[in-house]
Structure 1
Amino acid sequence: MANSLLRIGVAGCGQAARIHVERLLKESDVQIVGCADAVKESAESLAEAIAAAGGSKPATFVEFRGLLDQRPDAVAIFTPHLLHYRQAMDALQAGVHVFIEKPLSTNAQEAHDVVSLARGRRLKVAVGHQFRLRPSLAEARKRLAAGAVGPLRLVTATLAQPWLARQQERGSESSWRFDPKMAGGGLLADAGDHLVDALLWTTGRTALEVFAVQSRLDSGLDVVTAATIRLQGDVPATLALSGVSQGTLFELNFFGEQGRIHATDSLLEIDPGDGSPPRRVDLPDEAPSIDADFVAALRGLGPLSCSAEDALETVRLSEAVARSAATGQVVPLV
């Protein structure tokens, strides 16, 4: 596969798929061979956009099985969250590699099933936790592992954005994102999944237990989530998500005995804690795309930045946060 044409099918043909497909088509020897969407017009529209960009027009389907009949090397899944599990399992059983936009699944048991089947079939499953490729977070992870601020004592992770208003403005295409019956959750399962993964990945620690509360709409949709998490090594962490903010914020703070690391999605600062001002760390201007990372891994040029096995811990923690908020109890993860 290293020097041959890579044939990819796309499931779910909305705006997210268009962004990822544009990146995929920038990679050499990649062909989109099929587009599937329950809304036929969406599949046709994406196929026409691919043809207009200079590629051959892919076949279109309203059923996921049609993609697998094209015998692609891989499928990229951008469908609503509740469909991820079944489509990933069908693809793996057909001997096809998989890229899944986050989250991997809506519950830990399904995520574990995907991991087990991929391992048994020796197939790759990548999950779209693209924040792992942000230079700021990658550098924070490296410095934490090197003990740059001494023993870690506290982590705070915060996400705030006008999520609900933005989803409602987008109309029917994204309505499943804020319908708890369709999406399997609201902010936590959607944009919040990036923050949960970033918390675990940068610290390199698993979560041991969690207590959480949520503020919900009458429909059951979560719009604010707050959680206290005990990480491996008895490091406490706080997680705060708001989907009704006027502005946007994504940040993590790592407090050690010898200073603090402050990271956002685009910058990194080191505060030595001695009264001197924080120092901003120079970072590369651009990061590789999660799509280029997937293609490179399929060609044997490196590991996946986030495999299904990696993402399993994120699913487990997100599920535990939701369960704790629903029951009002501390939920253990071990």
Structure 2
Amino acid sequence: MQKLRLGMVGGGMGAFIGAVHRIAARIDDQYELVCGVFSSSAENSRASGLMLGLSPDRVYSSYQELFEKESQLPEDQRAQVISIVTPNHLHYEPARQALESGFHVILDKPMTFSLQEAKDLANAASASGRLFCLTHTYTGYPMVKEARQIVQEGRLGRIRKIYVEYPQGWLSGFEEGSGNKQASWRTNPDQSGAAGAMGDIGTHAFNLAEYVSGLEVTKLCADINIVVEGRKLDDDGAVLLKFANGASGVLMASQVAAGEENNIKIRVYGEKGGLNGSKVMQTASC
């Protein structure tokens, strides 16, 4: 089978998550990066594309140019899949235009900036007939897959209790005031959206709880905090969860847990046994 031809929007020099997606694509070995627009700056986009070994004529200055020119290439040459790894406020429009231009789309979470945009994008994906994939990276880890399988096989019995946590410490100080590019947009409501830590990493914990347990959250009660003075979005929070089968849970997400990096953990307890995973499910016992 030939590799899928991949184009990328965002993820150039100085970006964080774009390189992670490219590494994952190489590990998967099912994709070949053939084109992209890697920055809102045409100069930075070009430099990033050349650094990645792309042909200069396949490195674009805007996502509009990318979709237009790639669509004009012969079918066996043009990009087939577009991976969008931009800040949150630049998810909806590139994704919608990519779908309408005939490309499959891989979009990093969160889906969009608002609920209405999410509904509109879902409609656009349905109308396009193309695949729309929303990534939550931790579901791809082998031990997370095994944990989910253990639950599905009924080895824990009926699930009673779920604890999930995601502590980080990189925003323990006012990093957005010191020129930190990642901190600047992730703590800016105009670029990140209505949520800070809960939108950035709490969503991963929430997704992991539902994915591993196979249960849907039906109710929640949240306490959201801004710990660092001067910050505009939440950097810490805790949530009580109620699942569809009556099980209860607790979710914690914090970016002011000094000394922590990406220490995501989940524990799932049922009638017959429990799963106790740490550091992305490095251990799982029943």
Same-fold call, TM cutoff 0.5: yes
Task: Check the 8 A contact 2:8/2:85 in 1, yes or no.
Answer: no
Q: 1:28 to 1:156 in 2, by over 3 A?
A: closer
1:242-290 deviation per Cα after TM superposition (whole angstroms, max 9, x unaligned): 111123321111111222211230413325xxxxxxxxxxxxxxxxxxx
Q: CA deviation digits over 1:228-255, x for unaligned, max 9? A: 1111111111111111112332111111
TM-score (norm 1): 0.72
SS state at 1:154 partner? strand
Q: Partners of 2:244 and 2:170 in 1: how far apart?
A: 31
Matched, 1:200 2:210: yes
The answer on 1:140 being equivalent to 2:150 is: no
User: Deviation digits for residues 132-151 of structure 1, max 9, x if unmatched?
Assistant: 11122111111111121221
- Provide the rounded CA distance (Å) in 1 between the counterparts of 2:60 and 2:196: 28
CA positional deviation for 1:174: 4.8
Quote the Cα distance in structure 2 between the aligned partners of 1:135 and 1:28. 18
Q: Residue 17 of structure 1 aligns to which amino acid in structure 2?
A: G
- Equivalent residue number for residue 268 of structure 2: 254
Q: Distance in 2 between matches of 1:58 and 1:145?
A: 49
State how far apart, in whole Å, the 2-side matches of 1:212 and 1:177 are.
20
What are the ranges of 5 or more consecutive residues in structure 2 without an aligned counterpart? 72-78
Letter in 2 for 1:6: R
1:100-179 mapped onto 2 (5 Å cutoff): 100-165=107-172, 168=176, 171-179=180-188
What residue identity is the alignment partner of 1:268? T
Counterpart CA distance in 2 for 1:132 and 1:28 is 18
Question: Whole-Å Cα distance in 2 between the matches of residues 214 and 203 of structure 1?
Answer: 24
Q: Does 1:11 align with 2:21?
A: no
Equivalent residue of 1:221, what SS? coil
* Coordinate RMSD, CA, aligned: 2.4
Q: Distance in 2 between matches of 1:86 and 1:221?
A: 24
Separation of aligned partners in 2, 1:132 and 1:150: 22
Residue deviations 1:35-66 (CA, integer Å, cap 9, x gap):
24213343123212112xxx434544443201
Give SS of 1:164's match: coil
**Comparing both chains, which one has the higher relative contact order based on Cα–Cα distances under 8 Å and sequence gaps of 6 or more?**
1
Matched letter for residue 140 of structure 1: A
Q: C-alpha offsets along residues 67-121 of structure 1, whole Å, 9 cap, x if unaligned?
A: 1112232211111111111211111111111111122223333223322322222
Deviation at residue 30 of structure 1 after TM alignment:
1.9
Report the alpha carbon displacement of residue 152 of structure 1 after superposing the two structures with TM: 0.8
- Tell me which of 184, 193, 196 is aligned to 1:186: 196
Q: Residues 19-42 of structure 1: CA distance to partner in whole angstroms, max 9, x if unpaired?
A: 323443563672422324213343
Residue equivalent to 1:37:
39
Q: How far 1:156 moved relative to its partner?
A: 0.8
Instruction: Go from structure 1 to structure 2 and tell me whether the alpha carbon gap of 1:21 and 1:4 turns closer, same or farther (over 3 Å shift).
Output: closer
Is the alpha carbon distance of 1:19 and 1:42 closer, same or farther for their aligned partners in structure 2, counting shifts above 3 Å? farther
Q: What is the deviation of 1:212?
A: 0.5
How many Å separate the matches in 1 of 2:191 and 2:203?
A: 17
Q: Give the superposition deviation at 1:3.
A: 3.3
CA distance in 2, matches of 1:238, 1:158: 8
Seen in structure 2, the aligned counterparts of structure 1 residues 174 and 43 have a Cα distance that, compared at 3 Å, is farther
The runs of 5 or more residues in structure 1 that have no matched partner are 272-334
Aligned partner of 1:328 in structure 2 is none
Q: Determine whether 1:268 maps to 2:280.
A: no
Partner of residue 211, structure 1: 221
Q: Which residue of 2 is the match for residue 225 of structure 1?
A: 237
Contact 2:160 2:248 in 1 (8 A): yes
Q: Which residue of 2 aligns with 1:56?
A: 55
Compute the TM-score of the two structures, normalised by the length of structure 2.
0.84
Contact 1:153 1:236 in 2 (8 A): yes
Match of 2:90 in 1: 83
Partner of 2:21: 20
Instruction: Tell me if the contact between 1:25 and 1:31 (Cα under 8 Å) persists in the aligned partners.
Output: no
